[in-house]
Every structure is written in C-alpha cells, then in structure tokens.
Amino acid sequence: MITANSKKTVMIEAVDLCKSYSTGSEQFHAAKNVNLELYKGDFTVIMGSSGSGKSTLLYLLSGLDSLSSGKVYFKGQQIDGYSEKEITDFRSNKIGYVYQSINLIPDFSLFENVAFPGYVAGRGKNEINMRTTNLLKMMDIELQADRLPSQVSGGQQQRAAIARALINSPEVIFADEPTGALSQEQGTIILDILTEINHKAQSIVMVTHDIKAACRADRLILVKDGQIDGILELSKYSPEDMKARENQIFLFMSGKG
C-alpha cells in the first residue's frame, strides 16, 4: 500500500472525523474516526456502496455540515472553527459544490443559477456575465439559459449545477455523483471538462459509482460503513492507459470485497 506522497502539498486534512445522525432515539454513525489527507491539484475519487457514507464525508470535508467530533483543516486552517464570516468566505471563494440531488434554485433561470454565486462573492456584473456565458457554452446549455430548472431535463440541470460550482474558479470542486443523471456520452463530456479543470490546478473531489469515471482520478478512496476502507494511488498508471487503471480499480475493489 502506497501512503502519502511527500512531494504533494496537503490541501485538506481530516483528523478523527466523526458524524452521527440522530434517528429518533438512536444515533447513527455515518462517519467514524476518518483520518484523511487530500492533496493540492489532485483529482480524488470517493467510491463505496450506497449508504456507506460518501455524501456525508463530502459534506464534512467541504464545510457544508457540522461535525460531531474531530477536525477538518483547509490549508492548515481549521474550518470547523471558522467564524460565520470566514466559513461563508470559504464557501464562496475556495470551494464549489455539486450536489447529488442537483439543487438548483427553482425560481432562478439556469443563467441566474450559474451567475448567482458570482454576485454573492462580490464580482462585477460584466465579469460574471462573461464567465456565465462561457460556462453555459462549455456545458452545452446556452440555449436553455433563460429557462427555469423545472423546464429542462435532469441532465441539463446537472450540467447547470456543475457550471454553478465553477463560476468562482474555486480551489477545490466537490462533486457528488455529477454524472449520475447523465448519459454515457454526456458523462464523458463532463468528465473531460473536470479533467481539464483539474489540469488547470483546481483540485477535484468526486463521488462516483462508475469505475470508468473513477479512472480519471489520481487517487481513489474507498469508504465502507463510514470508515476509510482503503486508498488506491492511480497516478502511477498513465492516464492514457485506461484499461490498466480500470483493472487496478477492479482488483482493488474486489480485494476489499
């Protein structure tokens, strides 16, 4: 097993991370003592069976949910200790989040949905309009720009949600099954876009069920019952050699049962 690569800088670090949900009288532990480092510029993929705690982990790492115990660091700063101003600044400028359930604002048009975080971050109108237009074009939904989310397909919504996460050029993009609602080709296009962004030094943390999608990653983190079940370094296999990566992942997964 290959452990942390000392040449890379740590971007996000989780220490003894725990999260429990209360279901009536009982507590359900969806993350148990997770210790994890994510590196700057990495394309990290999180895999695991349904209900294993992937989304939970993503929420915790991105500062969108409160921890039960433990610590999360972003570039050495403890984000669970952030003040309201610091955490909002962090959410607005440092990260982009693509929800598993898409979550577009129903009464904003696609264009407005994508542009809105730009305004929250305090960017200028012209800059926002330009960025938004480019992103919509990149996602191939510029024709639907003025429609409401309920008036477009699920895949189009998902692409808008990704565009929204990109608008402020965040350092890390968290994406919870961003290709879940997309067809094979559309999924590939999105993955290509994510890969390209990744090459521009933006870090990506993506949850997926799809081994093909996982092949894009530098590292694969396997989650089981709220714990890290194993980490696979993929960067040593050439990105061109998809077959090799697929085999490795397959072996790794089946080795874990």
Ligand X SMILES: Nc1ncnc2c1ncn2[C@@H]1O[C@H](COP(=O)(O)OP(=O)(O)OP(=O)(O)O)[C@@H](O)[C@H]1O
Interacting stretch for other proteins, rule CB under 8 A, among 41-49, 94-102, 203-211, 244-252? 94-102
- Interface pick for other proteins out of 106, 185, 200, 201 (rule CB under 8 A): 106
HSE of 85, CA atoms in CB hemisphere, 13 A: 0
Interacting stretch for other proteins, rule CB under 8 A, among 68-76, 100-108, 227-235, 238-246? 100-108
Q: Does 62 bind Mg ion (CB under 5 A)?
A: no
Q: Does 90 bind other proteins (CB under 8 A)?
A: yes
CA 142/CA 132 separation, integer angstroms: 9
Q: Does 55 bind Mg ion (CB under 5 A)?
A: yes
45 CB contacts (<8 Å, ≥6 apart)?
206, 207, 208, 213, 214, 216, 217, 219, 220, 221
Residues near ligand X (CB under 6 A) are 21, 23, 28, 30, 48, 50-56, 100
Tell me the CA distances in angstroms from 144 to 21, 136, 149, 153, 157, one per residue in order.
Answer: 38, 9, 9, 10, 10
250 binds, among other proteins, ligand X, Mg ion, none (CB under 5 to 8 A by kind): none
- In the complex, least distance from residue 91 CB atom to other proteins, rounded to whole angstroms: 4
23 binds, among other proteins, ligand X, Mg ion, none (CB under 5 to 8 A by kind): ligand X
26 phi/psi in degrees, rounded to 5: -100, 160
Which residue is listed with tokens 């092949």? 215
- In the complex, least distance from residue 213 CB atom to ligand X, rounded to whole angstroms: 14
Q: Does 247 bind other proteins (CB under 8 A)?
A: no
- Interface pick for other proteins out of 10, 15, 18, 121 (rule CB under 8 A): 121
Interacting stretch for other proteins, rule CB under 8 A, among 2-10, 27-35, 37-45, 112-120? 112-120
Q: Does 125 bind other proteins (CB under 8 A)?
A: yes
CA 161/CA 159 separation, integer angstroms: 5
- In the complex, least distance from residue 139 CB atom to other proteins, rounded to whole angstroms: 17
- Give the residues lining the site for Mg ion (CB under 5 A): 55, 100
- Give the residues lining the site for other proteins (CB under 8 A): 59, 64-66, 84-85, 88-93, 97, 99, 101, 103-107, 112, 115-117, 119-121, 125, 128, 148, 150-151, 164
